[in-house]
Structure 1
């Protein structure tokens, strides 16, 4: 069973050697590495060429003008020849047994995809203790997505691998809508195409540094929140269009997304009993919270919500007294 490893890169020359070396060091050897450079402006091209010369039988280097992560994934998938497609971010690294573990799962079960946990490391590769990315989920991931309105609670790109024949129903990805965060597209679409296995094992390291695509320290918080909301809305629409295209009976209702609904309520900054009650019920049933977290976030929500109520009462008294 051949595994194609797709690495999309944009300005990660510093981290690329470690990422590629972690694939070369895999105990499972029937692999190919496809590195797609998406118009980098740093020394990435030179680094990729050097690595491809060092491992000529392993690495296929592709260079294209900058079009975003979605386009890079499309290019990589088109060039891949493996039965299994595994994705690795150019700034992350895998544990040596990662591919052997997922291949064993694919060989011994009917799952269409495998996900696993990741540990966090800093820019220098040092472990950030106590931080694990991802959580254990049941094989019926489609049900999880429908119940939570596509709320995000999944491993990032470097923890994802799928059967090629399943991804053929997902690719090509809309590269305009998915310039970033393509792991969301992969996870949400494949969940409705078969069983997804989550391994309760740390098989990769997710690197935290100032250049991560989802981190924008120079933006206002409100602008960042607006982008998050727009991303959730786009994702929800994209999933439902995909479900319609494949003839799946399910649809995803964004009103079930606690993060989205609660954030919108806070933005309105006004008391609304009906909406507050609905959000409270979401918190108390939220499958991504344990019992203690449900209580904590329920209390936290009502403490913040109380401000809206008091402000509303104060405004009403002020209006009557004028």
Structure 2
């Protein structure tokens, strides 16, 4: 039986970009069963655009008054009002390619996944390609619970998931208490957004699939609430060199908070994130140990610590298995020579 599909959208002063996104929803080869929009008090004509679209859309459209307490709460408000068994997040300023919903719904069925996300072509304000993708999975792959990179957060606009991922938990993560105590994101150090929350639960208890197909245009127009990375390549590598013990300690705290919250909603995985926390604490301690030491002492201590960790603790295993990866090993070895960043 084909599941019902809800597109869940949050809007706020999106009149300039919204028409193209709405038209792309109406052009889907697999139409949604409903579009639920929560508007956070737009005063630029967005409500009128939505009302006009609702009158002619080939599917049901519901427009709600949003809570006016931020992006994440706005999406949560729309999600709670939706009824589909499959949920597709939608931003107000992108464009979906015609096969997006069909391909994602088929992928859920074919792979038994609970969540799928796909590649997207990054474009400018006029929808001209900028020459790179984000997200950018290079190959289609499916991952079981607690496999893959625990720090990877699939972009919401490129994510489709089963409602059971949330509803089958002992404590619904969208209920007020669970929502209010959700952990801070490692990306922003603020309470995690709607899409991060769902992807974290999927990591802990669901099967996830990454699709290499480009299924949307990800518009960058200078006023995005969240956008594609602006620092890439060599610049990103140089930026990583400035990260040191304090940031690693914060990452350890965040991992522990993820595990605690997952256990509180009944998703499990607390042991996994405790292991991650200890890994990052060891890295912070290693940086502090070599900080300010003479070169000979750094080499003696630092390389000895790295050798033990690389062979015994698997701290530098692939990020796909929860390790910090070969790049982290190279950086940590470099630190033993040039000193810890401040």
Give TM class, smaller chain. 0.7 to 0.9
Partners of 2:205 and 2:267 within 8 A in 1: no
Q: Deviations over 1:158-210 (max 9, x none)?
A: 11111222232354161575766321111111233332222221112222232
Counterparts in 2 of 1:278 and 1:38: CA distance versus 1, 3 Å: farther
Alignment of 1:139 with 2:170, yes or no, is no
Residue 46 of structure 1 and its aligned partner are, at CA, apart by 3.2
Distance 1:17 1:68 in 2: 22
Q: What corresponds to 1:319 in structure 2?
A: none
Partners of 2:17 and 2:93 within 8 A in 1: yes
More deviation, 77-86/231-240:
231-240
Counterparts in 2 of 1:180 and 1:52: CA distance versus 1, 3 Å: farther
Structure 2 gap ranges (5+): 185-190, 231-238, 293-297
Q: Indicate the RMSD between aligned Cα atoms, in angstroms.
A: 4.2
Distance 1:249 1:300 in 2: 29
Alignment of 1:151 with 2:151, yes or no, is yes
Distance 1:16 1:274 in 2: 54
Q: What corresponds to 1:71 in structure 2?
A: 73
Map of 1:97-108 to 2, 5 A cutoff?
A: 97-108=99-110
SS state at 1:13 partner? coil
Distance 2:248 2:133 in 1: 23
Map of 1:3-152 to 2, 5 A cutoff?
A: 3-40=5-42, 42-55=44-57, 57-135=59-137, 136=139, 138-144=141-147, 148=149, 150-152=150-152
Structure 1 gap ranges (5+): 313-322
Partners of 2:256 and 2:277 within 8 A in 1: no
Counterparts in 2 of 1:40 and 1:301: CA distance versus 1, 3 Å: farther
Map of 1:1-322 to 2, 5 A cutoff?
A: 1-40=3-42, 42-55=44-57, 57-135=59-137, 136=139, 138-144=141-147, 148=149, 150-152=150-152, 154-168=153-167, 169=169, 170-172=172-174, 174=179, 177=182, 181-214=193-226, 233-234=253-254, 236-246=256-266, 248=268, 250-253=270-273, 256=276, 270-271=291-292, 273=301, 277=306, 281=310, 284-287=316-319, 298-303=329-334, 305-308=336-339
TM-score, structure 2 as length reference: 0.69
Counterparts in 2 of 1:49 and 1:131: CA distance versus 1, 3 Å: same
More deviation, 173-182/206-215:
173-182
Distance 1:44 1:237 in 2: 37
Counterparts in 2 of 1:228 and 1:71: CA distance versus 1, 3 Å: farther
Distance 2:307 2:70 in 1: 38
